[in-house]
């Protein structure tokens, strides 16, 4: 995996300053510490930092085709590159490397933008056509790999991380008020928005074409229409096909010229992928997991059981609340977005441990919950719809107690409490956002901590208006579960899970994550399955559980879904690190002008008591703290002033004027 950066002056002949590209690459050095390179042509500069995984010797970038006309910088892995290489050889192409980068470049030469439909992988890349002065930028279907850009005065700049753009003198650093309100509602800004004004992400499944103007086009999206019925595909046939697809997905993601390890969380997803790795490579599979000193959050028992059962070389590390407090600021520097929970920090520490063992690639289980209806939000919506048919029932709300046994507030909830918490807009079952209304409503309480000046400057703004155009044109024909899955994948998975907990935490330590459940073939297969093959009654990921029964420990197959969570508030407030007391001081709160200082102080005092603390209280604290860090590191100062590397791995500078 790598990092890419570039500037195109598409409305002038002004050449790009070499220092600008160099500074951008320095800021994302962690994405590619092995080597780097730059290309400069008329009005354009391109750069790459490389984490070498395939073709370690000859896969250097920027890469130029034999004609000298096409130049690529590329961040990603195309797992089916061997098969595509064979296709191109039959068409008369020749190759000078064994890298997937060259395959991507020549697939573009052969198919143009339609090359994207052939790729099975995770990617963000830029290809420059020198003769036509045209730039093509593309991002993978589900947004595993990031790509950010900004435009100003006829120039387009892009980078794998926002901090690279902030190295450019013409790029302003300012938080977007609208995006913050979206984050404090949906957990993430709605693409293409980012937390910053005039900084955008290329949405998943989109490409940019630039000649004399910038045009953005969607080439792929989730499609849950025309689902198969049970009569069209038997469960046995579906299970067999699902297993074969997942096995092939794992097999493709083991392609590398370096060692590949796996995360083993103790849940069914990562245990299943590790089992499949063992079917392909029976010996010497390295697995890693993160546990917690606080038993409320710890799953190390299941992790160790899975490791023993699968006979892996397992390393489990333990994370304390103090560890989270001490490393929280590094998490925010890596992720660049405000977050609402501390869960990314342990993953940052886990990737750090992996990298210490000189491992560059890990296979993980992300994506299974979105594709196979694993989250409690899907069951919660189903129960609320059932309850809404008899809203006065005292029995139906009790079903909700089965969903969150790990949350103390709901362990022994009475009917009145359940109705108070879960009854929000209970009867709006025809609202297309019904499945997520309760979550968004609860999260949006964080907005109550915003300052009066902030609220006044934003004016009347309902964040739900920002997603009114998000739904596909035929969503009315989709099932309730299909629509809920679409919202979860479209907003939460790409905007939060794959960013704040995926790419950014791993690449912060130069580790690449690979996600077998997010193979587009598996996504498209799962989207057509009957709902009951995914959510059967209140049994989530039904087809995965049935498929893996007898292959992995029964205790892991049958265990109820437990969301990955981490310790939150107390140690961050009381911790020895000065970061909290600095960024959350009354002076800094007032100086940033985002939050109401008196309300923040009351929240901190409440959390110090440890009494009657809600999930929203904890989320509010993390949201405020992470936003204050963002304001301090990214707005008031350049992120490179907090952490930066000298670009000492530079291998290639190509000047082509």
Please indicate, yes or no, if residue 467 is contained in any of the structural domains.
Answer: no
Residue 474 pLDDT more than 80?
yes
Say if residue 523 is in the same domain as residue 602. no
Per-residue model confidence (pLDDT) at position 514: 97
Per-residue model confidence (pLDDT) at position 414: 74
Per-residue model confidence (pLDDT) at position 401: 83
Q: Residues 106-119: what's their mean pLDDT? A: 98
Q: Residues 234-247: what's their mean pLDDT? A: 97
Per-residue model confidence (pLDDT) at position 618: 92
Per-residue model confidence (pLDDT) at position 421: 83
Most confident of 101-105, 582-586, 614-618: 101-105
- Cβ atoms within 10 Å of 72's Cβ, excluding its own: 24
Please indicate, yes or no, if residue 473 is contained in any of the structural domains.
Answer: no
Please indicate, yes or no, if residue 434 is contained in any of the structural domains.
Answer: no
Please indicate, yes or no, if residue 398 is contained in any of the structural domains.
Answer: no
Residue 619 pLDDT more than 90?
yes
Please give the share of the chain, as a percent, with pLDDT higher than 70: 98
The helix (H) or strand (E) run that includes residue 147 is: none
Task: List residues bridging with 347 in a β-sheet.
Answer: none
Q: What is the pLDDT of residues 255-297, one digit of tens each?
A: 999 999 999 999 999 999 999 999 999 888 999 999 988 888 8
The answer to whether 180 and 594 have CB atoms below 8 angstroms apart is yes
Instruction: Write out the residue range of the structural domain in which residue 595 sits.
Output: 570-640
Say if residue 319 is in the same domain as residue 185. no
Question: For the chain, give me the number of helices (H) and strands (E)?
Answer: 27, 18
Q: C-alpha angle with apex 145: 79 to 149, nearest 5 degrees?
A: 135
**What number of CA atoms fall less than 13 Å from residue 412's CA on the CB side?**
0
Per-residue model confidence (pLDDT) at position 648: 80
Q: What is the pLDDT of residues 451-471, one digit of tens each?
A: 999 999 988 888 999 998 899
Per-residue model confidence (pLDDT) at position 298: 81
Say if residue 151 is in the same domain as residue 287. no
Residue 412 pLDDT more than 70?
no
Say if residue 207 is in the same domain as residue 337. no
**Reported confidence tier of residue 84, pLDDT bands at 50, 70, 90:** very high
Paired tokens of 55: 């073709």
Say if residue 244 is in the same domain as residue 215. no
Which residue from 436, 552, 416 is spatially nearest to 487, judged by alpha carbons?
436
Say if residue 506 is in the same domain as residue 611. no
Say if residue 203 is in the same domain as residue 319. no
Name the domain boundary from 505, 536, 558.
558
Out of 53-67, 131-145, 432-446, 619-633, which region has the weakest mean confidence (pLDDT)?
53-67
Per-residue model confidence (pLDDT) at position 407: 62
Please indicate, yes or no, if residue 385 is contained in any of the structural domains.
Answer: no
Residue 207 pLDDT more than 70?
yes
Task: List residues bridging with 217 in a β-sheet.
Answer: 207
**Reported confidence tier of residue 576, pLDDT bands at 50, 70, 90:** low
Say if residue 609 is in the same domain as residue 535. no
Say if residue 84 is in the same domain as residue 156. yes
Name the domain boundary from 194, 220, 246.
220
Q: Residues 460-485: what's their mean pLDDT? A: 91
- Sheet holding 121-129: strands in order across? 63-64, 70-78, 121-129, 134-139, 206-210, 214-218
Please indicate, yes or no, if residue 646 is contained in any of the structural domains.
Answer: no
Name the domain boundary from 220, 255, 288.
220
Please indicate, yes or no, if residue 301 is contained in any of the structural domains.
Answer: yes
The answer to whether 379 and 563 have CB atoms below 8 angstroms apart is no
Per-residue model confidence (pLDDT) at position 118: 98
Q: C-alpha angle with apex 594: 581 to 188, nearest 5 degrees?
A: 95
Say if residue 244 is in the same domain as residue 172. no
Q: What is the pLDDT of residues 420-435, one digit of tens each?
A: 889 999 999 999 999 9
**Reported confidence tier of residue 411, pLDDT bands at 50, 70, 90:** low
Q: What is the pTM of this model?
A: 0.96
Per-residue model confidence (pLDDT) at position 405: 66
Per-residue model confidence (pLDDT) at position 559: 86
Q: Residues 100-113: what's their mean pLDDT? A: 97
Q: Tell me how many domains the chain contains.
A: 3
Residue 76 φ/ψ, nearest 5 degrees: 155, -170
Q: How far apart are CA 140 and CA 206, in angstroms?
A: 8
Residue 479 φ/ψ, nearest 5 degrees: -70, 165
Per-residue model confidence (pLDDT) at position 640: 85
Which residue from 317, 416, 302, 407 is spatially nearest to 357, judged by alpha carbons?
317
State the chain's mean pLDDT as an integer.
93
Q: Residues 570-587: what's their mean pLDDT? A: 80
Q: Residues 413-424: what's their mean pLDDT? A: 82
Per-residue model confidence (pLDDT) at position 322: 87
Residue 212 pLDDT more than 70?
yes
Residue 46 pLDDT more than 80?
yes
Q: Residues 622-648: what's their mean pLDDT? A: 91
The answer to whether 335 and 344 have CB atoms below 8 angstroms apart is yes
Please indicate, yes or no, if residue 299 is contained in any of the structural domains.
Answer: yes
Q: What is the pLDDT of residues 322-334, one digit of tens each?
A: 899 889 999 999 9
Out of 214-218, 222-226, 263-267, which region has the weakest mean confidence (pLDDT)?
222-226
Residue 473 φ/ψ, nearest 5 degrees: -65, -30
Say if residue 259 is in the same domain as residue 142. no
Q: Domain with 307 in it: what CATH number?
A: 3.40.50.620
Which residue from 53, 37, 57, 35 is spatially nearest to 45, judged by alpha carbons?
37
Say if residue 528 is in the same domain as residue 580. no
């Amino acid at each position: 995996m790598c990092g890419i950066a570039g500037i195109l002056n598409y409305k002038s002949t002004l050449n790009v300053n070499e220092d600008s590209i160099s500074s951008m690459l320095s800021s994302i050095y962690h994405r590619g510490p092995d080597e780097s390179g730059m290309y400069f042509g008329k009005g354009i500069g391109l750069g790459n930092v490389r984490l070498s995984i395939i073709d370690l010797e000859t896969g250097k970038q920027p890469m130029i085709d034999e004609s000298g006309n096409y130049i690529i910088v590329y961040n990603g892995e195309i797992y089916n590159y061997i098969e595509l290489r064979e296709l191109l050889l039959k068409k008369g192409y020749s190759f000078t490397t064994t890298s997937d980068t060259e395959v991507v470049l020549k697939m573009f030469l052969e198919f143009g933008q339609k090359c994207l439909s052939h790729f099975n992988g995770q990617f963000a890349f830029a290809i420059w056509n020198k003769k036509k002065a045209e730039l093509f930028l593309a991002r993978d279907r589900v947004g595993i790999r990031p790509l950010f850009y900004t435009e100003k005065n006829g120039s387009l700049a892009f980078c794998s991380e926002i901090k690279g753009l902030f190295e450019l003198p013409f790029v302003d650093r300012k938080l977007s008020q609208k995006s913050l309100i979206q984050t404090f509602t949906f957990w993430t800004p709605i693409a293409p928005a980012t937390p910053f004004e005039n900084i955008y992400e290329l949405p998943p499944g989109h490409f940019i074409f630039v000649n004399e103007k910038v045009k953005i086009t969607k080439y792929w999206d989730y499609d849950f229409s025309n689902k198969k019925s049970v009569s069209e595909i038997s469960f046995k046939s579906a299970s067999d096909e699902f297993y074969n697809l997942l096995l092939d997905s794992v097999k493709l993601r083991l392609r590398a010229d370096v060692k590949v390890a796996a995360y083993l969380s103790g849940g069914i997803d990562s245990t299943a992928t590790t089992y499949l790795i063992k079917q392909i490579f029976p010996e010497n599979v390295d697995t890693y997991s993160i546990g917690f000193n606080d038993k409320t959050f710890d799953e190390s028992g299941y992790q160790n059981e899975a490791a023993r059962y699968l006979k892996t070389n397992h390393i489990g590390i333990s994370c304390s609340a103090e560890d989270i407090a001490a490393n929280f600021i590094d998490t925010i520097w890596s992720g660049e977005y405000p977050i609402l929970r501390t869960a990314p920090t342990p993953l940052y520490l886990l990737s750090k441990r992996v990298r210490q063992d000189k491992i560059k690639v890990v296979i993980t289980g992300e994506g299974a919950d979105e594709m196979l209806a694993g989250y409690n939000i899907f069951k919660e919506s189903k129960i609320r719809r059932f309850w809404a048919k008899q809203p006065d029932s005292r029995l139906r709300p009790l079903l909700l107690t089965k969903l969150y046994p790990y949350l103390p507030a709901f362990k022994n909830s009475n009917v009145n409490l359940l109705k108070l918490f879960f009854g929000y807009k209970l009867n709006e079952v025809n609202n297309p956002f019904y499945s997520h209304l309760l979550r968004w409503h609860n999260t949006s309480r964080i907005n109550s901590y915003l300052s009066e000046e902030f609220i006044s400057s934003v004016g009347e703004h309902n964040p739900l208006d920002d997603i009114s155009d998000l739904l596909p044109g035929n969503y009315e024909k989709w099932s309730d579960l299909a629509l809920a899955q679409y919202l979860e994948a479209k907003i939460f998975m790409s905007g939060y899970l794959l960013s704040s907990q995926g790419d950014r935490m791993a690449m912060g330590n130069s580790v690449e994550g690979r996600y077998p459940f997010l193979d587009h073939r598996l996504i498209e297969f799962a989207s057509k399955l009957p709902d009951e093959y995914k959510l059967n009654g209140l049994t989530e990921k039904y087809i995965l559980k049935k498929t893996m029964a007898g292959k992995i420990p029964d205790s892991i197959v049958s265990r109820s879904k437990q969301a990955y969570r981490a310790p939150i508030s107390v140690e961050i407030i009381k911790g020895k690190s000065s970061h909290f007391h600095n960024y959350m001081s009354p002076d800094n709160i007032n100086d940033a002008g985002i939050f109401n200082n008196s309300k923040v102080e009351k929240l901190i005092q409440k959390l110090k008591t440890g009494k009657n603390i809600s999930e929203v209280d904890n989320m509010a604290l993390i949201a405020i703290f992470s936003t204050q860090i963002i304001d301090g590191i990214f707005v008031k100062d350049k992120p490179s002033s907090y952490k930066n590397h000298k670009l000492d791995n530079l291998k290639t500078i190509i000047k082509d004027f």
